[in-house]
Amino acid sequence: MQLDHATPEQLRQWESELTAEYKTIVAQNLSLDLTRGKPSPEQLSLSDALDGILKGNYQAEDGTDSRNYGGLDGLPEGKRLGADIMGVDPDSILVGGNSSLTLMFQTMLTAHHFGLTGPESAWKHSGTVKFICPVPGYDRHYTVCEQLGIDMVTVPMLDDGPDMDAVEELIKQDPSIRGLWCVPKYSNPTGVVYSDETVERIAALGKIAHGTFRVFWDNAYAVHDLTDTAPALSSIAEACARLGTEDSVVQFASTSKITHAGAGVAFVSASPANLKGLKAFLSTCTIGPDKINQIRHARFLPNQQALHTHMRKHAQLLQPRFEAVLQALESEFKGTDLGTWETPIGGYFVSFDTRPNCARETVRLAAEAGVKLTPAGATFPYGKDPQDRNIRIAPSVPSVAEVVSAMKVFVVCVKLASVRTKLA
Amino acid sequence: MQLDHATPEQLRQWESELTAEYKTIVAQNLSLDLTRGKPSPEQLSLSDALDGILKGNYQAEDGTDSRNYGGLDGLPEGKRLGADIMGVDPDSILVGGNSSLTLMFQTMLTAHHFGLTGPESAWKHSGTVKFICPVPGYDRHYTVCEQLGIDMVTVPMLDDGPDMDAVEELIKQDPSIRGLWCVPKYSNPTGVVYSDETVERIAALGKIAHGTFRVFWDNAYAVHDLTDTAPALSSIAEACARLGTEDSVVQFASTSKITHAGAGVAFVSASPANLKGLKAFLSTCTIGPDKINQIRHARFLPNQQALHTHMRKHAQLLQPRFEAVLQALESEFKGTDLGTWETPIGGYFVSFDTRPNCARETVRLAAEAGVKLTPAGATFPYGKDPQDRNIRIAPSVPSVAEVVSAMKVFVVCVKLASVRTKLA
């Protein structure tokens, strides 16, 4: 199918055929869901040994009684687990509660209102504050900015990371830029891994940006490879150390998509100056993180080998689901002008770009045919995809057979929306 | 000992005798600690059955898979546990993470910056914002206010709760008052239980205060009785319902001093309007609380009878320690003019008021003699006890024998500081 070279007659014939096909699908009363970027019950069960793992031994490696108050920055074994996941120095780690989103919010709140490096460093003193958001991206990042009154400016996400020419240009031109959101590995939703050059250029932003500029490096899928030959993400901590920009990047990760999604352990990795500022804030609003859960996780995943073995089990469950999505896209859209996509080998999403002005209609058609998709626009700040093209597909929760069924509906909806838009 | 009726000669003789006694104590090289308001290891062990209690069953009563994301306001059994502890309707409960301090901070942050009942209700729009703090009180409450730039004004804590004449007067006179901190049962540190009349008057504040005024009702010791004949705290929720002031009070509690202090479950109880505002905020900064820990706790403490039985075990460990403190105070200071104290029958503290200008010196003398006490002033906003009188004694962690030894030192230090101050 090549819409741009089709005659009006051909388009009308396609429209008629696709409408008939779509009606057949609607009549099947399907109920399928490709919206949820969360682990399936089978994945969660991989970690059910967590409860009971302590066998009465609540003592941390350093002798701390994990049951009592305190330990604002985490136990040694909790830090080591974070370091194993993120590929950083354990000393750079602060262990949080069950949500890295909370740590990101707290870090941004601290930077904006209270100052990461003293009260005078608070962004709010500078009037308008802006963050750079590569698009498409993660809606929860946008919500954090919105909640704190931080404006968002977008740059395109390319197949090797954010468009760094655009990022550098924005920073040079606009003195109100204070940060950049990044999901560097298996980016949400496009699934790309930032190239070595991109990582290097991001680490170098601290040289041209405002002194309080911070890259929020949300390494949510650091060890979430679908294949054994996973691409390595270059170390931004090492690049920053080399360039002397250690304070310009704050890294985040969690075990949410490693063990139990809602009951995991979250981590920050940052420079001593940033950790000091974050700890000063945290000391006012928590009695310390859940240290028992840190020990549970550290005993369940005691080293990198155990972590790797565990993540291979996730991959075995996820990989066929991704394959079902990608096979459908390739068999139906390869060589057409109906859409483009990346082929992620990790993470939780496949991102599909329709022809302009077709995403919303595709999602609407799919919903009417019983296939729930993430609302079009959700991957853009303020929910506004200016070209109305991007759709995020999340195949982790349904069964492989359900993903296959859902994708059959999806491709028909894409085609029908495309043809109708072309005819309109 | 009655210093105010003593002759200078008598005072000098006492000073000489006490100095000798003090020197003997210093020579013993003691190392005792009465600073820590946290459970002892023996108390923590009462809840060690929590780990492993799930036996592979991670499903909540309503069918929710507790392992996955979501559930911003908590599982049904989590809410019921909170309601059992706080004596409120489960529907009024939101379940948080491991720290009620965090929920208090988040509630105050929301009220101040984002508005609990819509953006226009944010306190920050009103310029100066003030909170009323009964003194002596809890230093962590003061820190929350300080962090958010909220000014604190004090009222005296009486033996039936805050001086309500002073509270009402402040609210009527100062339009910038936006809230009141309360620890209504076994108040930190004086240990008093608010009288029925005080609770009623606090519930009525919503009628005379600004529309966004909120009482922060930190019911940290709701079920933490030392005796079987515990005084009942009147229900502020019922009083508010009767008076139509439901929005003016937000209640907090946690299992921190019920199960494992650092790994418990925290609760808010509030009106639908307040819950809505708090949930709107929380949805921007968390993927939801740890629901597995909610189930663990709900299965460990399935009903009020189980909770009561469990708390009796804590009381058996705590009661002898409190008795050791109170016996020392009574045998040495009853009928003297050296100090006053309450006799708490619950909570974690005994609060002792020295003669004016003697607290700091008492704490210093005790430290030199190897007995650590909470810094004088810590129970007042900004660390400033204007009369330098209040000392918080926390006997839960040391053994009974250690509490007895520490109190022997304490009474000598009080006497010596008092006599020297009188002589000065």
Q: Is the pTM of this model over 0.80?
A: yes
Cα-to-chain-centroid distance, residue B396: 14
Of the residues A244, A274, A303, which one is the last residue of a structural domain? Answer: A303
User: What is the residue-level pLDDT of chain A in tens, covering all 424 positions?
Assistant: 899 999 999 999 999 999 999 999 999 999 999 998 999 999 999 999 999 999 999 999 999 999 999 999 999 999 999 999 999 999 999 999 999 999 999 999 999 999 999 999 999 999 999 999 999 999 999 999 999 999 999 999 999 999 999 999 999 999 999 999 999 999 999 999 999 999 999 999 999 999 999 999 999 999 999 998 888 999 999 999 999 999 999 999 999 999 999 999 999 999 999 999 999 999 999 999 999 999 999 999 999 999 999 999 999 999 999 999 999 999 999 999 999 999 999 999 999 999 999 999 999 999 999 999 999 999 999 999 999 999 999 999 999 999 999 999 999 999 999 999 999 9
Q: Which residues partner with A93 through β-bridges?
A: A269
The mean pLDDT of B117-125, rounded to a whole number, is 96
Judgement on whether residues B38 and B89 belong to the same structural domain of the protein: no
Q: How far is CA B248 from CA B89, B103, B223, in A?
A: 17, 17, 23
Quick check: A39 contacting B, CB < 8 Å?
Answer: yes
Average pLDDT (B343-355) is 97
B330 touches A: beta carbon within 8 Å: no
**Are the beta carbons of A262 and B69 separated by less than 8 Å?**
yes
Could you tell me which of A334, A310, A317, A342 has the C-alpha nearest to residue A395? A317
Within this chain, do residues B350 and B289 fall inside the same structural domain, yes or no? Answer: no
Whether residues B289 and B376 share a domain: the answer is: no
Residue B54 inside a domain? The answer is no
Q: DSSP string spanning B181-233?
A: EE--SS-TTT-----HHHHHHHHTHHHHS-TT-EEEEE-TTTT-BSSSSPPPP
Asked if B269 contacts B95 with a C-beta cutoff of 8 angstroms, the reply is: no
Tell me, yes or no, whether B68 lies in a domain.
Answer: yes
How distant, in Å, are the alpha carbons of A225, A389, B181, B205, B275 from that of B111?
42, 38, 14, 17, 12
- Specify whether B359 is located in the same domain as B369: yes
Interface test with A, best of B50, B54, B68, B142 (most A CBs within 10 A): B68
For residue A39, the chain B residues in CB contact (below 8 A) are 68
B297 and B159 co-located in one domain: yes
Dig out the tokens for A138 from the structure: 């993660």
Question: Which residue of chain A comes nearest to B257, CA vs CA?
Answer: A68
* Tokens of residue A316, six digits: 């075995």
Asked if B56 has any chain A CB less than 8 Å from its own CB, the reply is yes
> Does A319 share its domain with A339?
yes
- Outline where B64-138 has alpha helix (H): 76-86, 100-109
In-domain check, residue B380: yes
Other C-beta atoms closer than 10 Å to the C-beta of A283 total: 14
Identity of the residue in A39, A48, A286 whose CB atom sits nearest the CB atom of B56: A48
Domain boundary among B307, B334, B351: B307
Whether the per-residue pLDDT at B230 is higher than 90: the answer is no
Q: Choose the final residue of a domain: A239, A270, A303.
A: A303
Interface of B with A in 60-89 (CB under 8 A): 65-71
Together in a domain, A161 and A32: no
Instruction: Give me the pLDDT at residue A69, please.
Output: 96
- Domain presence at residue A368: yes
Q: Which domain holds residue B326?
A: 3-43+308-423
**Which CATH number covers residue B350?**
3.90.1150.10
Identify whether residues B277 and B383 lie together within a single domain: no
List, in order, residues 6 or more apart from B323 with CB less than 8 Å away. Answer: none
Look at residue B293 and tell me if it is in a domain. yes
Write down the pLDDT at residue B1: 87
* Residues 6+ positions from B105 with CB-CB distance below 8 Å: A284, A285, A286, B144, B147
Domain total of chain B: 2
Q: Cβ B262–A288 below 8 Å, yes or no?
A: yes
In a domain? residue A50: no
Domain CATH number, residue B154: 3.40.640.10
Do residue A199 and residue A333 come from a single domain? no
B72, B201: one domain = yes
B53·A54 Cβ contact <8 A: no
* A328 found inside a domain: yes
CA dist., res. A307 & res. A300, Å (int): 9
Could you tell me if residue A264 is inside a domain? yes
Same domain, B385 and B236: no
Burial of residue B323, with CB atoms counted within 10 A of its CB: 0-12 exposed, 13-18 middle, 19 or more buried: middle
pLDDT digits (tens, 9 = 90+) for B232-269: 999 999 999 999 999 999 999 999 999 999 999 999 99
Q: Does B323 lie in the same domain as B201?
A: no
How many CA atoms does the CB half-sphere of A189 hold within 13 Å? 26
